[in-house]
Amino acid sequence: MRIVVAALLAAVVLFVWQFVSHMLLPIGEMGFRAPQNEDAVLSVVSSGLGQPGIYHLPHIDSAKMGDEAATKAWADKAKANPYAFVVVAPPIQDAGSMGRELGTQFVTNFLAALIAACLLAATAWSFGRRALGAGAIGVFGWLANLVPQWTWYRFPGEFVFAGLIDQGIGWLLAGVAMAWWLGRR
């Protein structure tokens, strides 16, 4: 029960931090840009990428990677055009409501905090080391997840750096809550 309460406290702290970082500070918008002509882009996305999924352009079919002519044509196109990583999702039915997304975010925060609390509870670390350990868990997640997006899919450096700030600070704060609760007798 002690671990579950520590995870719950950490999830609340993390959720509040994420609100602050995304709604009150500019961290949540780092690396994002507005399109020059949104209506034209949406029209092209609807006609050219109509099915939900993840697209990267220029695209080459992995089955053609062994075909020298196809890979040369793709390489030439890649050198002459910008790279795009596009997520296409179905239209938002209730654009004014974020209830489902907020609920999902809190649940995932809690599950991640539960894993972190289990790990921290298994240590004989002091308050400070547990708090720093949770911060390190956040940096680990950033290194394992967001840095590869920068490496392979060219996510903007600003966006990836914002993820480091968001995860590092968020998990450090969550670690303070967990370390405090786990250190109680």
**pLDDT one digit per residue (tens) for the chain, 185 residues:** 999 999 999 999 999 999 999 999 999 999 999 989 989 888 888 888 878 999 888 998 888 888 899 899 999 999 999 988 888 888 888 877 888 899 999 999 999 999 999 999 999 999 999 999 999 999 999 999 999 999 999 999 999 999 999 999 999 999 999 999 999 87
Amino acid at 90: P
pLDDT at residue number 169:
96
Strands (E) located in the chain? 53-57, 84-88
pLDDT at residue number 97:
84
| Predicted structure pTM score | 0.85
- Mark 42-69 as b/e (b = at least 16 C-beta within 10 Å): eeeeeeebeeeeeeeebebeeeeeeeee
Q: How far apart are CA 76 and CA 70, in angstroms?
A: 10
Distance of CA 19 to the CA centre of its chain: 14
HSE-CB of 8 using CA atoms within 13 angstroms: 5
Number of residues in the chain: 185
Tokens 């997520």 sit on residue? 87
